């Protein structure tokens, strides 16, 4: 099977590509615009593989996307390309609308036209996996979990654009018959995550002796999933999922932001006992909350376990320890980013005119 992976040089996308080329016989065509958070460094492990091809194409470029389909003749699409940082969506929402909504529509429509022209057997095999987030559901109460039929109620521009892309994906299935599968996942973490996200921010700032900013009182709750588990889940959905269905992908690993920060600090204390910043929890500092900050997310992932036999392999603490160790060992990787691309400044501030 030849698979187009959009956003394949990003965090979750690159983990998925590495999994595909390590553990499956599939060929992979990575489509990525290499914006600030994308890098071919994430694919160093597989770039020499004869089954790997890279195309630097923005999904908003309809002609470029069409060329990829015409040239590579894929059997499936895994759509992970997106602007994904909530805080950045507050400061600059329009790029999120463009990439997440318009880009998804272009990809769906190109896939539809391509799929229509396939021969019968190839049409039957073709799949389009649209990868989304639990943030489309909005904030959750203290006891329930989001299911595949939960009402959409997005709070941030990021979540709203992902909700829009989910609706587009389902409509292309219901209206045109395109064999679309939708997944919604929780907060991912692991190697190669861009340093603006919560867990790598904590690790990197702690290693530099900087304060560890926690929004509000630190009581916001997220469900956490190790990125390698998510990659395995996505391949399972692509190869065994049912078109027209939605699947929640989660790990049943809820933690408050304060708990996560303290766990990161504990791992750093163990890995770097002679650090001048140990105990690292002394670096934790609570800062002004961001606008529209949802209180809790948690996914009910029983459907994918029941129907497809997938469940997360890694426990939170073990995966977090591996992640902290990776950032300790790959200091040159994230230091280059902090020098060239992102200086660690706070995002998520409401822009003011003038």
CA atoms within 13 A on the CB side of 113: 11
- The string of DSSP codes covering 36-56 is TT--GGGGTTTTT-TTEEEEE
Which residues, at least 6 apart from 332, have a Cβ–Cβ distance to it below 8 Å? none
Residues found in the chain: 354
Domain 2-190+226-252+296-314, CATH: 3.40.50.720
Pull the structure tokens for residue 275.
Answer: 């650090």
What are the residue ranges in the chain where pLDDT is below 50?
A: 354
pLDDT for 5 equals 98
pLDDT by residue (tens digit) across 5-22? 999 999 999 999 999 999
pLDDT at residue 290, as a whole number = 85
Closest CA to 182 of 225, 148, 131, 232: 131
Q: Which residues are catalytic?
A: 134-135, 158
- Per-domain residue ranges of the chain: 2-190+226-252+296-314
pLDDT at 354: 42
* Among 341, 354, 347, residue whose Cα is nearest residue 96: 347
In the prediction, which pLDDT does 10 show?
96
Q: Is the dihedral of CA 95, 188, 33, 112 positive or negative?
A: negative
Q: Where are the alpha helices (DSSP H) in 36-194?
A: 62-72, 86-91, 94-96, 104-116, 120-125, 157-176
Please report which helix (H) or strand (E) contains residue 286, including its range: strand 284-287
């Amino acid at each position: 099977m030849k698979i187009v992976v959009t956003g394949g040089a990003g965090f979750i996308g690159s983990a998925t590509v590495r999994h595909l080329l390590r553990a499956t016989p599939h060929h992979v065509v990575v489509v990525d615009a290499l914006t600030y958070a994308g890098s071919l460094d994430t694919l160093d492990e597989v770039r020499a593989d004869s089954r790997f091809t890279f195309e630097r194409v923005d999904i908003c470029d309809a002609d470029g996307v069409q060329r990829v389909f015409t040239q590579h003749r894929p059997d499936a699409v895994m759509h992970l390309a997106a602007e994904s940082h909530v805080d950045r969506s507050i400061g600059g929402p329009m790029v999120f609308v463009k990439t997440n909504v318009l880009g998804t529509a272009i990809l769906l429509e190109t896939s539809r036209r391509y799929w229509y022209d396939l021969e019968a057997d190839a049409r039957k095999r073709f799949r389009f996996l649209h990868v989304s987030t639990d943030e489309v559901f909005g904030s959750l109460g203290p006891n329930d979990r989001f299911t595949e039929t939960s009402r959409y109620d997005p709070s941030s521009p990021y979540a709203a654009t992902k909700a829009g892309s989910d609706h587009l994906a389902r409509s292309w299935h219901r209206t045109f018959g395109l064999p679309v599968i939708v997944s919604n996942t929780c907060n991912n973490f692991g190697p190669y995550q861009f340093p603006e996200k919560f867990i790598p921010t904590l690790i990197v700032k702690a290693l530099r002796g900087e304060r560890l900013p926690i929004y509000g009182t630190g009581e916001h709750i997220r469900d956490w999933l190790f990125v390698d588990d998510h990659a395995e889940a996505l391949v399972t959905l692509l190869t065994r999922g049912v078109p027209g269905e939605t699947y929640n992908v989660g790990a049943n690993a809820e933690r408050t932001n304060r708990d996560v920060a303290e766990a990161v600090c504990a791992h750093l204390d163990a890995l770097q006992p002679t650090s001048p910043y140990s105990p690292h929890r002394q670096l934790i500092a609570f800062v002004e909350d961001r606008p529209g900050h949802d209180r809790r997310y948690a996914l009910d992932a029983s459907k994918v376990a029941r129907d497809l036999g997938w469940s997360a392999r890694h426990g939170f603490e073990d995966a977090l320890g591996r992640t902290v160790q990776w950032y300790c060992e790959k200091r040159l990787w994230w230091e280059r980013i902090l020098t060239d691309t992102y200086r660690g400044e706070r995002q998520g501030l409401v822009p003011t005119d003038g």
